[in-house]
């Protein structure tokens, strides 16, 4: 039986990045195969024979880890930044190179997953799988029933109509909104369409996982059954 795997998949499995980002790294000449820079996409390797280098390090598959963080405001969801911004990876001290699954805006708080499992991260981020994301939103002013109904039906943004959502009133100026799309600043833009403004935004659920009692800035490893939930949902 062949042991060949695509180079981008191997990079993802080694925790370098998600598969799509791995293609960019290969095309940019940042990956070496058996001592030589490789730029061709779609190259297959035998992990038992071939040597792959990235950033001067010889790669081998790490133990997969999965972490839930209650992201504070003021941190960006990236692993590096040239403006000396505070990174979510600064909050999680583990002896592995990890990266965030998807993104939350700098001022958005709540549930963020981090992992070194590039394959799983890629499936969780891909829009084709339509993973639910639930946000609690504090608003500038009281929201009307008509506005809630508009959010639930979908609203027209400059990049197209949003898919139907679940919108619930939690208080006069507080709602929850569940969407499965991942457009840039989508929740804030949806709220603006119904003539209101987000004061604070917190993600409390993602792909079947719930933030629950994790305090702001705290993190924990996912439980075995939670990893199973993610794996099953990412394949469905």
Which residues are designated catalytic? Answer: 105
The kind and range of the H/E element at 6 are strand 5-6
User: Which of 59, 53, 64, 131 has its CA nearest to residue 99?
Assistant: 64
C-alpha torsion angle, residues 163, 204, 94, 30 (rounded to 10): 20
Phi and psi based region of residue 70 (left: phi greater than 0; alpha: psi -120 to 50; beta: remaining)? beta
- Give me the phi and psi of 202, to 5 degrees please: -135, 125
Cα separation, 3 vs 49, whole angstroms: 10
Measured in degrees and rounded to the nearest 5, phi and psi for residue 168 equal -130, 145
Residue 61 backbone phi and psi in degrees, to 5: -70, 125
Rounded to the nearest angstrom, the gap between the alpha carbon of residue 64 and the centroid of all alpha carbons in its chain is 16
10 Å CB burial of residue 128 (0-12, 13-18, 19+) is exposed
For CA atoms 204, 209, 213, 218, the dihedral sign is negative
Is residue 134 within 8 Å of 205, Cβ to Cβ?
yes
């Amino acid at each position: 039986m062949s042991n060949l795997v695509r180079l981008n998949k191997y990079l993802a499995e080694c925790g370098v990045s998600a598969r799509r980002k791995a293609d960019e790294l290969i095309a940019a000449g940042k990956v070496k195969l058996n001592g030589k820079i490789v730029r061709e996409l779609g190259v297959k390797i035998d992990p038992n024979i071939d040597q792959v280098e990235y950033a001067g390090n010889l790669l081998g598959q790490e133990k997969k880890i999965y972490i839930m963080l209650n992201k504070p405001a003021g941190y960006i969801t990236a692993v590096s930044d040239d403006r000396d911004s505070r990174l979510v990876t600064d909050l999680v001290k583990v002896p592995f190179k990890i990266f965030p699954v998807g993104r939350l805006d700098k001022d958005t708080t709540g549930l963020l997953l981090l992992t070194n499992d590039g394959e799983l991260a890629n499936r969780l981020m891909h829009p084709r799988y339509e993973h639910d994301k639930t946000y609690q939103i504090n608003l500038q002013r009281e929201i009307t029933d008509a506005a809630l109904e508009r959010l639930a039906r979908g609203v027209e943004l400059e990049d197209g109509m949003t898919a139907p959502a679940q919108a619930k009133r939690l208080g006069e100026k507080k709602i929850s909104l569940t969407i499965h799309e991942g457009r840039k600043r989508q929740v804030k833009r949806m709220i603006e369409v119904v003539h209101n403004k987000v004061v604070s935004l917190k993600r409390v659920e993602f792909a079947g996982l719930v933030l629950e009692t994790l305090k702001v800035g705290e993190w924990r490893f996912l439980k075995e059954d939670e990893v199973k939930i993610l794996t099953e949902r990412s394949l469905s």
